[in-house]
Amino acid sequence: MDFHFSPEEKAFRQDLRAWLKENVPPDWEGVFLEEEEKEWRQGREFVKKLSDKGWVAPSWPKEYGGMEASPALQLVYNEEMGYHRAPIGSVVQAVGYIGPAILAFGTEEQKKQHLPPITAGEIVWCQGFSEPEAGSDLAALQTRAVKDGDDYVINGTKIWTSNAHRSDWCILLARTDPAAPKHKGIGFFLVDMKSPGITVQPIINMANVHSFNQVFLEDVRVPKSGLLGQENQGWFITIMALDFERSTLVAAAISMAKRNLDELIDYCKETKVNGGTLLDNPLVRHKLAEMTIEIEVGKYMVYRVVSLQARQEPGSIEAAVCKLYNTELDVRVANTGIQILGLYGQLQRDSKWAQLMGRFQKSYMYALAMTVGGGSSEIQRNIIAMRGLGLPRR
């Protein structure tokens, strides 16, 4: 057991930290998900700068614009990006699990076509998995892909597709063999979002922002070269992608929660009440102490997943434990902030009375969403119970 980072990893952390201090936009409000138009533009400009440094996808091979970073170096990167709230939301999916799926299952041609534009910060990807009747039970998806000459013709609808309205490409699951058992007849497609027959309809989220969409596919022709892996291998690729998605989502999120907590502690030290500061209240002190412990626990869960990845050992149970604990912890941290800030905590950042740029109000709403996206908490508990503890399916 050795939790120390190597000299190379420490040096990278220092370089990256210094660069982030210089380059995260000064008026960046630190919400991570660049949903509003201005944030989106700032995020895309930031990714371009990151690309000039060769830092968009550290763990990828150098020939596709990566650094061939070890899992530990990638962890350092995720921690710093999260702590500095770097605006990389537009590439998180592509870098975290779409690119790795293409690397693992793609042809040489697919890798050359799709990976360099991601590390160059030119192309945005979205994920077309969920459907109105297939979310937790994803394999129940109904979208159909029928072979026709050199193409597949795709019909169906996808829902909750984050950033579909800003994406160039989409990873899309569609049923290639309706007669096969539901997990076995699925294809994994790489679809150009400009293809005729695709309509993107906005869905406004509970923070009143257009973040996800419903996507309708009507006779969309996808060339055979757009199939990733074998025709009915889609579920296998999806499982790998979802494991990566879970560990990607939480590594930066826990550092972001730590930053929120650090700023909350500073706020409590500085805020005067009844002749003292907020810190004189034992309830506040205990809550902050409790959150500090939980964030440490969450951090070491991430380290555990990374150490398994470094040894190339299976870690889907650990990834589920980590996703479950850390996304629910984000809710607890957000709740703590809202409670300590009192009525101010409910104000949005554009109010002159908002504290800490209204971050706790925003993260209060978004943290809850993260317990659903990437597989809900209940589904993570099912995975842990069945695959981890060997309990029967109910």
Residue 387 in contact with residue 316, Cβ under 8 Å? yes
Residue 205 CB, nearest approach to ligand FAD (Å): 7
What would the two tokens of residue 305 be? Answer: 């997943």
x-marked contacts with ligand FAD along 187-226 as a string, rule CB under 6 A: -------------------------x--------------
**Piece of 100-108, 180-188, 254-262, 377-385 that binds ligand FAD (CB under 6 A):** 377-385
Contacts of 278-286 with C-beta under 8 Å, sequence gap 24+, read 278/340, 284/340
Q: What is the DSSP string of 62-75?
A: GGGT-----HHHHH
237 or 379: CB nearest ligand FAD:
379
Q: What H or E segment, with its residue span, contains residue 160? A: none
Residue 246 in contact with residue 323, Cβ under 8 Å? yes
Residues with Cβ < 8 Å from 148, sequence gap 6 or more? 221
Residue 272 CB, nearest approach to ligand FAD (Å): 38
HSE-up (13 A, CA, CB side) for residue 2: 4
- Token look-up 């102490």 returns 289
Catalytic residue among 34, 35, 80, 245: 245
Residues with Cβ < 8 Å from 177, sequence gap 6 or more? 184, 185, 231, 232
Residue 134 CB, nearest approach to ligand FAD (Å): 7
Residue 209 CB, nearest approach to ligand FAD (Å): 11
**Distance (Å) of CA 192 to CA 172, 210, 223:** 10, 21, 10
> Contact with ligand FAD (CB under 6 A): which of 83, 95, 375, 383?
375
Site for ligand FAD (CB under 6 A): how many residues? 19
Calpha distance 233→203 (Å, rounded): 31
> Contact with ligand FAD (CB under 6 A): which of 232, 277, 376, 384?
376
**Piece of 24-32, 274-282, 325-333, 373-381 that binds ligand FAD (CB under 6 A):** 373-381
181 or 282: CB nearest ligand FAD:
181
110-149 residues near ligand FAD, rule: CB under 6 A: 126-130, 135-136
Residue 381 CB, nearest approach to ligand FAD (Å): 7
Q: Is 45 a catalytic residue?
A: no
**Piece of 3-11, 17-25, 216-224, 366-374 that binds ligand FAD (CB under 6 A):** 366-374
Residue (of 316, 318, 317) closest to 300 by Cα position: 318
Residue 270 in contact with residue 321, Cβ under 8 Å? no
**Piece of 41-49, 186-194, 257-265, 365-373 that binds ligand FAD (CB under 6 A):** 365-373
155 or 271: CB nearest ligand FAD:
155
Q: Does the protein bind ligand FAD through residue 160 (CB under 6 A)?
A: yes
Question: Which residue has the CB atom at the shortest distance from ligand FAD?
Answer: 135
Residue 25 in contact with residue 46, Cβ under 8 Å? yes
**Distance (Å) of CA 349 to CA 13, 54, 84, 210, 262:** 30, 33, 18, 18, 19
Residue 261 in contact with residue 287, Cβ under 8 Å? no
Q: What H or E segment, with its residue span, contains residue 284? A: helix 282-310
120 or 368: CB nearest ligand FAD:
368
**Piece of 41-49, 217-225, 352-360, 369-377 that binds ligand FAD (CB under 6 A):** 369-377
92 or 284: CB nearest ligand FAD:
92
Say what angle helices 71-83 and 282-310 make with each other, to 10 degrees.
150
358 or 374: CB nearest ligand FAD:
374
> Contact with ligand FAD (CB under 6 A): which of 372, 384, 385, 386?
372
> Contact with ligand FAD (CB under 6 A): which of 162, 255, 326, 361?
162
- Residue numbers of the site for ligand FAD (CB under 6 A)? 126-130, 135-136, 160-162, 212, 369, 372-373, 375-376, 378-379, 382
Residues recognised as catalytic = 245
